[in-house]
Structure 1
Amino acid sequence: MGSVPGTTLTHPEWLTARIAEMGRSWGTTTPRIAGTLWWCMAASALVEQLVRAYIDGESTPTPELRNLDCDMRPDGGVERVRVSAATGDARADGSEVRAPAEGLRDTLAAVIPPVAEVSGAGAAALWAIVADAIGNRAIDAGDPAAGSRLAAEIGGKLPAPRFVDVGGRTFVRRISCCLVFEVPGCQMCTSCPKRPAADRAALLEAAAAGS
């Protein structure tokens, strides 16, 4: 599907079409399920560049919507988000440039309400997915604690990501559910918060042992 500007992520008609495509690819016609799966991918893409730069100590452009380009997947999902604007002390119009964490907070605050509206997913659940995405990307980059610090800087309605050490590995102690188990033929994720705690712990132990 090529790429679209970040502002497109706030357009209800466009979101409805992309979520429907995601539903068809997964075999579900329930907007809440398809929208949650879509947002899991989009949230991960939205936070990836900032988390990586934050942990590496690199400067990054502010991820405001107008600075974003979103590479799309054939199934309607967001494959990658590129932040293209340069940082600086002020914009060309003289207005102040937001800090990267503040810019992401503004972006999430603009995108989550229309995603919730067209999908029927709760806004709080969508914010929780972002927290888990930040935690996972921080683990991938080797510094879970930095993910917690970044989430605190983003602030707003974003919960803090949580972590658990199992068998010598760090996992996100998830506060969100992707709802994939509600898709016909699919099962709960290993770390799903809806699993019984003992069941989840045993599965994480097995995952750690197999890594």
Structure 2
Amino acid sequence: MDPVFGQLLAEYPRFRTALEPAAHSRVLTVAELAAPAVIERAVVAAGELFGVTDPRHAGQLWWFSAVNALVAPSVTAMVEYGRVPDLDLGTGELFVRDPEDGCGDPGAGYWIGFTPGSFVSGSSDADPRNPQRRSGEGFTRSVAPVVESLSLVTGVKPAPLWAVVSDGVAQAAVEAGNEAFDPYLGVRTAVALVSGLGAAGPGDGVVVPQPRFLDISVTGGTVTPTDMEAVFAEEEPDGVHTVVKRASCCMIYRSPTAGKCLSCPKQKPEERERKLVSGLVP
């Protein structure tokens, strides 16, 4: 593992389970992850963990968790340290943390992770072929068979699954920017990554949604669309927390033990904004 990930884990220990295989983890290829039996087990595991009974909802819930686990450590490294891991899953080590054949607990087969094996080099963010964009392209190409298999197994159409990918990548970048006290760097990283997702093209007429962002004033509690001109001018906003205006739903509210999450797109905009503000403004 590259030393940059040791630094990442020292600062953000929460990423350890998504970045490092455990003793009982099983390493697998992307083709193995996309196998119907593996996808079916992940969907069943979602039901075991969260009580979600409809395979469409369980599959989308698993995919939302999976995308976050696969990209969040690497995207945080991009924002924090300026290193761009290659998100092509075939270039690193992909693993199931609690494989069905190695763990008898409920939920086995749900949690996955990824240790990048290489980095993307390139020129500045002004270059349309910048490294973040190329890393996003690699992620699209590598997860396309997983999305296809998940769609066939659960009956969820590909478009909402690709919306989960776009939102997951953008959200990881924006959260990293907020934590680094440089929210607009997170937004620029998100835009570059998602442009790569779209450039690689999921196919079948599916369009990867472009991310949208909102700025929350941490002192006044106002919510406004992010000023993208200021983002690309590399301005540093004062007292702003940026969030992704999501196009996708994680489906956790389908669980009998959970409600709608903070940024859920299935709630009224004013209710979502009220919840976002209440979590930030004293």
TM class, shorter-length: 0.7 to 0.9
Secondary structure of the residue that 1:84 maps to in structure 2? coil
**TM-score (normalizing by structure 2):** 0.64
Instruction: Determine if the alignment matches structure 1 residue 159 to structure 2 residue 159.
Output: no
Residue of structure 2 in register with 1:150 after alignment: 193
Instruction: Determine if the alignment matches structure 1 residue 57 to structure 2 residue 82.
Output: yes
Query: Where do 4+ consecutive residues of structure 1 move more than 6 Å?
Result: none
Residue of structure 1 in register with 2:154 after alignment: 119
Q: Distance in 1 between matches of 2:159 and 2:72?
A: 20
Instruction: Determine if the alignment matches structure 1 residue 41 to structure 2 residue 76.
Output: no
Quote the offset at 1:171 in angstroms: 1.3
259, 263, 271: which one aligns with 1:187: 259
For 1:200-211, what aligned pairs fall within 5 Å after superposition?
200-210=272-282
Q: 1:136 to 1:62 in 2, by over 3 A?
A: closer
CA contact (8 A) 1:69 1:84 kept: no
The residue type paired with residue 190 of structure 2 is G
Q: Distance in 2 between matches of 1:124 and 1:81?
A: 24
Instruction: Determine if the alignment matches structure 1 residue 6 to structure 2 residue 29.
Output: yes
> Identity of counterpart residues, as a percentage?
29
Q: Distance in 1 between matches of 2:256 and 2:25?
A: 30
Q: Distance in 2 between matches of 1:114 and 1:180?
A: 21
Quote the offset at 1:113 in angstroms: 0.8
RMSD value over aligned CA atoms? 2.3
Quote the offset at 1:87 in angstroms: 6.9
Q: 1:59 to 1:193 in 2, by over 3 A?
A: closer
Q: 1:13 to 1:204 in 2, by over 3 A?
A: same
The residue type paired with residue 197 of structure 2 is I
The residue type paired with residue 173 of structure 2 is A
Could you list the per-position Cα deviations for residues 98-140 of structure 1 after superposition, in whole angstroms to 9, with x for gaps in the alignment? x433221101222111011112222111111111111221122
Q: Distance in 2 between matches of 1:139 and 1:71?
A: 26
The residue type paired with residue 173 of structure 1 is K
| Runs (5+) with no aligned partner, structure 2 | 1-23, 99-104, 122-133, 178-185, 202-206, 219-240
Equivalent residues, number = 200
Residue of structure 1 in register with 2:94 after alignment: 69
Q: Distance in 2 between matches of 1:202 and 1:61?
A: 37
Quote the offset at 1:20 in angstroms: 0.4
The residue type paired with residue 143 of structure 2 is L
163, 174, 193: which one aligns with 2:246: 174
Question: Relative CO higher for 1 or 2, CA cutoff 8 Å, sep ≥ 6?
Answer: 1
4, 11, 28: which one aligns with 2:52: 28
Q: 1:66 to 1:119 in 2, by over 3 A?
A: farther
Q: Distance in 2 between matches of 1:59 and 1:128?
A: 22
Quote the offset at 1:59 in angstroms: 4.2
Quote the offset at 1:80 in angstroms: 2.2
Quote the offset at 1:209 in angstroms: 1.3
Instruction: Determine if the alignment matches structure 1 residue 106 to structure 2 residue 131.
Output: no
